[in-house]
Amino acid sequence: MERNIFETEHHMFRDACRTFLEREVIPFHEQWEKDKMVSREVWQRAGQQGFLCMDVPEEYGGAGVKDFRFNMIVGEETWRVGATGIGVGFGLHSDVAVPYLIHYGTEEQKQRWLPKVASGEAITAIAMTEPGAGSDLAAARTTAIREGDHYILNGQKTFITNGILSDLVIVVAKTAPELGRKGISLLVVERGMEGFERGRNLEKIGLHAQDTAELFFRDVRVPVANLLGEEGKGFNYLMQQLPQERLSIAVSSMGSAAAALDWTVAYCREREAFGKPIGTFQHLRFSLAEMKTEVQIGQVFVDRCVMELNQGALSTEDASMAKWWASDLQKRVVDRCLQLHGGYGYMLEYPIAKAYLDARVQAIYGGTNEIMKEIISRSFGF
């Protein structure tokens, strides 16, 4: 079934994205995995060529295109070539963090930050998770107590994507701890602020080219001018933006599953056993047929969610369904594809092995899949 959600400009953008990845990413990705971090130069090149923050308005240096299909293409193509480390970094920046600046930033903040994030000069992160608070954001203990024209920020965050490279970090903190979730605010912490320290670049089982760090805030004086939106509205802002984050994960999950299936079909054509291609064996053909069907069904739903997001109609429930189903499907498909590769699938020189390692986190970040089911189940009204 042909996907019918794309128009001519999307196909042209996909071709340009593939060319960019072939020239600027694939030759260097192995080294970035060894370094546990991508280069800042690739961010700047991505910004120069229009692959970052497509929805930043033109007056702030962006393309001014409010169409998530372009974000979708970047996510799909980076996972297709196995550049998942850089893919997550770009996706976190464009799909998750920067929209907070666009939607809730003041005019002064937009002029100060948006040109830099669109060009790739400034890399963003969003610091939600703490050692004792993950999916339950209301349990965050990081505090930001106002003193005059500054907030005094104290706390710790962990598992922060782009944590080492980031220049702007949107920090979830309690400006009124006694009010619980109603006391949560968002502060933008900038590189170099005194008391803001980065911990180690965390060792992960997958996504090796993506820097993921611990962040520490010790009496950081954050100007009130860096408050994003209104004080005490942070939890509401998070709830408003999380559906797009979860859809972004669903998009990358489907891109990964589709790529794994393509690699495996090609492998089954080439690999021989008992004198003939292994793809001629009924069990393997049936396995491929099952996965192709599941991937196609999942893609149709995710595509529909993207179009609903464009129309401002994507519900939290549907975004949660997409994130849960697509990430679980990704794990199943990649695992089965690795099995069909046999011993070669266990070798890291084959992309399916890296895809297997990278897939596992998809069901965890952005809210665990168990939390997704909790959100979906609320619609029953029990």
Active-site positions? 245
CB 310 within 8 A of CB 68: yes
Beta bridge partners of 185: 173
Q: Which two tokens stand for residue 380?
A: 């029953």
Rounded Cα–Cα distance for residues 52 and 70 (Å): 10
Give the residue among 20, 80, 84 at the shortest CA–CA distance from 52. Answer: 20
- Cα–Cα nearest to 237, from 56, 107, 345, 102: 102
Residues 195 and 189: their CA atoms lie apart, in Å, by 11
Distance CA 69, CA 315 (A): 17
Handedness of CA 85, 91, 94, 100 (dihedral sign): negative
- CB 77 within 8 Å of CB 91: no
> Judging by beta carbons within 10 Å of its beta carbon (0-12, 13-18, 19+), is residue 42 exposed, middle or buried?
buried
